[in-house]
C-alpha cells in the first residue's frame, strides 16, 4: 500500500500496553521460556476498538524486535497493510493468526515452538487429551458454537487437536481452519513436529492460556516418562506406578 511505511505513529507509543510495545516485550518473555528461539514463533495482537491488527516481521530474532519493526493491517481490509516497515516481510504466521481472529473473534494469537508441544505431538495421534489436573481450570470452556461460557473444571477433559506440519508455515492455514471448526471447544491447535497456536479474547487471556497449556504439555511429557496416562483417573496413578516398580 502506498505510504504504508509512513504510518509510524501507529506503532510508536509511550504506553507499555500499546500492541506494538507488547509484541516486543512479550516476545522477550517468550524467548526466556524457550518458546520463540532461533526466530521461530511469535505473537499477533488485534486492537479491537481501533479495528487494527499488529504483526511481527518474518525471520527476525523475535526477542530483539523494536516497535518500529511491527506491521499493521486494518481488520476490515485484511489484504492491505497500513504500516509496512522498510526492508521487512510480515510473519509467515499471518494467515494463521488471522484465522483465529476471523473464525473465533480472538483478540490475540500466540505461536510457539515449545519443545513440550513438539514432544506431545510426537506421542499422540490426532488429539492430545488430559484431565484431572488443577491447571486445566485456567482454560476457557466453550459451547458447541465456540462461544465462551466460563472456565473448565478440574475434572473436565482438555482436548487439543493436532494437525500435520507443512514445509511452509502459511500452508498450515487450511488444516488449522478445519481444526478450529471441528473443535469448537478448543483455544489451541498443536502442529506436529513444529509447535502450537494458542489464542484468546485479548492479549492477556491468550498469554494465560498459552502458559497454562504449556504447563500441561510439559507435565504430560513427564507423565509419559513414568508411565502415567494423561487421562488417568484420580487414584489410578498408583497402579501405573506399581507396574513401574515391578
Binding residues: 93, 111, 113, 194
How many residues bind ligand L4RZE5RM, per CB under 6 A? Answer: 13
134 is an active site residue:
yes
Closer residue to ligand L4RZE5RM in complex, CB, 197/209: 197
Question: Whole-number minimum distance, CB 65 to ligand L4RZE5RM, in Å?
Answer: 10
Site for ligand L4RZE5RM in 132-191 (CB under 6 A): 169
C-alpha cell at 243: 507396574
- Rounded to 5 degrees, what angle do the CA atoms 149, 48, 181 make? 50
Nearer to ligand L4RZE5RM, 59 or 174 (CB): 59
- Closest by CA to 43, choosing from 35, 31, 55, is 55
Question: Of 37 and 135, which has the nearer Cβ to ligand L4RZE5RM?
Answer: 37
Catalytic residue among 8, 63, 134, 157: 134
CB 112 within 8 A of CB 35: yes
Among 7, 25, 29, 58, binds ligand L4RZE5RM (CB under 6 A): 58
| Conformation bin of residue 87: beta by default, left when phi > 0, alpha when psi is -120 to 50 | left
Segment interacting with ligand L4RZE5RM, rule: CB under 6 A, options 27-35, 38-46, 116-124, 139-147: 38-46
User: How far is Cα of residue 104 from the mean position of the Cα atoms in its chain?
Assistant: 13
Minimal distance, residue 55 CB to ligand L4RZE5RM, in Å: 9
Q: How far is the CB of 14 from ligand L4RZE5RM (least distance, A)?
A: 27
Strand 77-83 with 42-47, pairing: unpaired
Please, which residues have CB within 8 angstroms of residue 238's CB and are 6 or more apart in sequence? Answer: none
Q: Which is nearer to ligand L4RZE5RM, 169 or 211 (CB)?
A: 169
Using CB under 6 A, which of the segments 21-29, 85-93, 129-137, 181-189 binds ligand L4RZE5RM? 85-93
**Rule CB under 6 A: which residues touch ligand L4RZE5RM?**
38-42, 56, 58-59, 91-93, 111, 169
Active site amino acids? 134
Amino acid at each position: 500500500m502506498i505510504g504504508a511505511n509512513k504510518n509510524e505513529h501507529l506503532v510508536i507509543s509511550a504506553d507499555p500496553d500499546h500492541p506494538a510495545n507488547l509484541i516486543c516485550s512479550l516476545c522477550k518473555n517468550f524467548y526466556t521460556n524457550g518458546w520463540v528461539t532461533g526466530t521461530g514463533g511469535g505473537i499477533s495482537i488485534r486492537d479491537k476498538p481501533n479495528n487494527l491488527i499488529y504483526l511481527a516481521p518474518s525471520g527476525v530474532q523475535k526477542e530483539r524486535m523494536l516497535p518500529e519493526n511491527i506491521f499493521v493491517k486494518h481488520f476490515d481490509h485484511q489484504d492491505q497493510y497500513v504500516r509496512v516497515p522498510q526492508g521487512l516481510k510480515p510473519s509467515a504466521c499471518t494467515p494463521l493468526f488471522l484465522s483465529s481472529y476471523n473464525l473465533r473473534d480472538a483478540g490475540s494469537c500466540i505461536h510457539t515452538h515449545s519443545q513440550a508441544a513438539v514432544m506431545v505431538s510426537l506421542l499422540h495421534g490426532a488429539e492430545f487429551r488430559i484431565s484431572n489436573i488443577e491447571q486445566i481450570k485456567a482454560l476457557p470452556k466453550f459451547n458447541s458454537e465456540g462461544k465462551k461460557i466460563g472456565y473448565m473444571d478440574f475434572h473436565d477433559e482438555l482436548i487439543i487437536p493436532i494437525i500435520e506440519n507443512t514445509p511452509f508455515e502459511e500452508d498450515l492455514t487450511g488444516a488449522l481452519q478445519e481444526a478450529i471448526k471441528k473443535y469448537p471447544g478448543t483455544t489451541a491447535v498443536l502442529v506436529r513436529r513444529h509447535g502450537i497456536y494458542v489464542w484468546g479474547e485479548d492479549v492477556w487471556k491468550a498469554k494465560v492460556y498459552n502458559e497454562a497449556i504449556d504447563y500441561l504439555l510439559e507435565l504430560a511429557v513427564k507423565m509419559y516418562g513414568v508411565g502415567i496416562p494423561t487421562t488417568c483417573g484420580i487414584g489410578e496413578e498408583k497402579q501405573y506406578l506399581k507396574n513401574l516398580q515391578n
